[in-house]
Structure 1
Amino acid sequence: MVEEKKHYMTLEGKQKLEDELEYLKSERRKEVVERIKVARSFGDLSENSEYDSAKEEQAFVEGRISQVENILRNAVIIEDDGNNTNVVSLGKTVRFVELPDGDEEEYTIVGSAESDPFEGKISNDSPMAQSLLGRSIGEKVTVNTPGGEMEVEILEVK
């Protein structure tokens, strides 16, 4: 039996997924079923674009439900152990400066299911996080990004 991938996330991230799942099952499913009913009333299904569109939407919703259920089934909650606040680890926020230009950035390292770079949350699988994990305040780290190498210095871990 193949072992399922573990999905690391915070309690907040897990709650968000649980809320999404509840919404998909209780509201979106009903909306899509209603769209299908209405589209069927238009007649011949072989040339009914409304029906085809509703069925595609139903497939998307059911796929997302399955995906979220799988993520939740394999969720591993990131807990702050309170130890070694100077070392970058999963669930912690790291502030660093790009060298030599001095641009400061701050990211929280989370699991891939919860990542959202626009909210300052990067996946533990990303090149940036992989380079920072296990490193300490004051360390200079070379990060291999798709755009090339960059060097950063870790300023703060919280």
Structure 2
Amino acid sequence: MAGDYKPIKLTREGFERLEKSLEQEQNRLAEATRILQEQMEASADFEDTGLEDAKREKGIIEARIEELEDTLSRASLIEAEEHAGRVGLGTTLTLHNEATKQDMKVQLVSAPEATVRGGSLPKISDDSPVGQALMGRKKGESFVVNLESGKQVKYKIKSLD
């Protein structure tokens, strides 16, 4: 993976949420390690399902920690002002769904940031159909998104906040 270094653009809020998630996973790993140790000491039979479950859980947590550490090590913080009136990573905007006549305030972020829960606004990943259609657009522009279900949704950018 040494030659696979690709920066990941994150907002400051997203970076902080990823750091918090890493800390939580590290705490979970410490607990899973303790439980695994107890299972090993209590189990004379290594085919014990509790022991196997504990090993599996520890492996899942270790993989998540590795993923978070990789993302954070490649993080490049972005500022919304970098986009000069156009939608880009980190932009907060209000979208109007023309069919439902509803507005929603969202933030466009990178895929790794979109997967982390929390934050003050709903996140749209830049690699989702809506996220891809938003990139580079200006306030007032309308656009149609073809969803995976085959449906089309028409949006209008009401404001860039």
Residue in 1 that maps onto 2:105? 106
1:151 aligns with 2:151: no
Distance in 2, matches of 1:22 and 1:154, equals 36
Q: CA deviation at 1:140?
A: 1.3
Amino acid at match of 1:94: L
* Residue 100 of structure 1, CA deviation: 4.1
Runs of 4+ in 1 over 6 A off after TM superposition: none
* Cα contact 2:99–2:153 (8 A) shared by 1: no
SS at match of 2:18: helix
Q: What TM-score comes out, normalization by structure 2 length?
A: 0.84
- Within a 5 Å distance, the mapping from 1:2-21 to structure 2 comes to 2-21=3-22
Runs of 5+ consecutive residues of structure 1 not aligned to the other structure = none
User: What are the ranges of 5 or more consecutive residues in structure 2 without an aligned counterpart?
Assistant: none
Give the Cα separation in 2 of the matches to 1:33 and 1:82.
44
Q: How many residues align?
A: 156
Q: Structure 1 residues 42, 95: CA separation in 2 closer, same or farther (over 3 Å shift)?
A: same
Please tell me whether the aligned partners of residues 80 and 88 of structure 2 are also in contact (alpha carbons under 8 angstroms). Answer: no
TM-score normalized with structure 1 length: 0.86
Cα–Cα, structure 1 residues 53 and 135, in superposed 2: closer, same or farther, change >3 Å? same
Map 1:1-158 onto structure 2 (within 5 A): 2-25=3-26, 27-81=27-81, 84-85=84-85, 87-115=86-114, 119-147=121-149, 148-158=151-161
**Which stretch shows the higher mean deviation, 127-136 or 100-109?**
100-109
Identity %: 28
